[in-house]
Structure 1
Amino acid sequence: MTVNESQLQAKRPVSAALAGPYGHPFHPILVTVPIGAWVASLAFDIASHVVDDPAFLTQGSEWLIAVGVIGALLAAMVGFLDLFAIPSGTPAFRTGLVHMALNLGVTVAYALNFLWRYGTYTDGGSVGAGRLALSAVSLAVLGVSGFLGGKLAYRYGVRVADESTQAEGYAAGGSGRAS
């Protein structure tokens, strides 16, 4: 397989119905759910230390973690399909494996964090230092994984339309229709 064939293979979905059609992958939009939920959860954790009655923040943080875990599992399923489109043995595939492993590790850490918290904040206290630290470290690892995900899309062009398709958006007098 030549480099061009490898690149083209990585741009096409394994299953358009499950992973999103060509040029419109589902994985990038699905990852916004866990990222947003987990960032908000950490903000709630920190805020629980500065308000007089932190019960609503600790409970909210716990459930944001759960929403993030569910969202991460959905994003992982679609991301796994995108990984199958990348030819094995390539730098892009190796990057995808590290990206996946980090994300799975973060998801497990957050699932454990949820279980560690579940039902323990009935006294209405602020989030404990250990739980807050686990969230902060998990989010930092998620940032590293996100960097690798960006490398997959923006450097290696995984699931990004090829240049001839992209050129349609810059053609003078083109139809201007969005696809």
Structure 2
Amino acid sequence: MEQAKRPVTGLAGRYGHPLHPALVAVPIGAWIASFVFDIASHLVPDPGFLAQGSRWLIALGVLGALAAAMFGFLDLFAIPTGTKTFRTGLLHMSINLGVTVLYAVGFIIRGGPAAEPVDWPPLALSAVALAGLGVAGYLGGELAYHYGVRVADEATQAVGYTRTTTHESTTVKKERV
């Protein structure tokens, strides 16, 4: 399984530091914030700014998801095909692509400038997409924490838990440079 720990290219991030998990914070944060804005648009007297903000957060999330997906593909290519890990990766990818499509549709159906609270159909669509995002996130956690995809091996990780003196620490730093 060592193959799935190593990047297929340096573009995916160096060993033990994949870029995909860092990039997914953008769509996750944007889409959660958009849902909060959707709900809040029903609670304030002048909801237009929240409805419009939600729409643009959705757009930001879609763009962020596409960027994260490019690096996710690189990580998927490192997993041996025909394995449970690869099938989990395909399911993770498929759900995320579906979620991204739902949000893109949500962006389109919301239309232009808004003065009213977010209608219930787009809000429901966001809720369904957010639930799918939760499932995909769980699967992403399985890939990283259970199967160790793109996670450094235990010997590499153990270096961070070794106590060193100031002199040894300086020596280690010089050797790594």
TM-score under structure 2 normalisation?
0.93
What is the distance in 1 between the residues matched to 2:61 and 2:111?
15
Contact 2:143 2:149 in 1 (8 A): yes
% identical equivalent positions? 66
Q: State the partner residue of 1:3.
A: none
Q: How does 1:163-174 map to 2 (within 5 A)?
A: 163-173=154-164
**Runs of 5+ unmatched residues, structure 2:** none
Aligned to 2:7, what secondary structure does the other structure show?
coil
Moved over 2 A (4+): 174-179
Aligned residue type for 2:7: P
Q: State the partner residue of 2:25.
A: 32
Matched, 1:77 2:70: yes
Matched, 1:140 2:126: no
Q: State the partner residue of 1:67.
A: 60
Residues paired across the two proteins, number: 170
Q: State the partner residue of 1:131.
A: 122
What is the distance in 2 between the residues matched to 1:103 and 1:34?
10
Aligned residue type for 1:52: P
Contact 2:34 2:53 in 1 (8 A): yes
Q: State the partner residue of 1:56.
A: 49
What is the distance in 2 between the residues matched to 1:98 and 1:57?
33
What is the distance in 1 between the residues matched to 2:148 and 2:52?
40
Deviation at 1:118?
2.3
Deviation at 1:120?
5.9
Contact 2:52 2:113 in 1 (8 A): no
TM-score under structure 1 normalisation?
0.92
Aligned residue type for 1:33: V
What is the distance in 1 between the residues matched to 2:163 and 2:44?
56
Of 37, 40, 64 in structure 2, the residue corresponding to residue 44 of structure 1 is 37
What is the distance in 1 between the residues matched to 2:91 and 2:74?
15
Q: State the partner residue of 2:5.
A: 11
Deviation at 1:172?
2.3
What is the distance in 2 between the residues matched to 1:34 and 1:118?
20
What is the distance in 2 between the residues matched to 1:87 and 1:40?
36
Q: How does 1:100-139 map to 2 (within 5 A)?
A: 100-119=93-112, 121=114, 124-139=115-130
Of 124, 132, 151 in structure 1, the residue corresponding to residue 142 of structure 2 is 151
Of 91, 99, 104 in structure 1, the residue corresponding to residue 92 of structure 2 is 99
RMSD (CA atoms) = 1.5
**Runs of 5+ unmatched residues, structure 1:** 1-6
Aligned residue type for 2:46: D
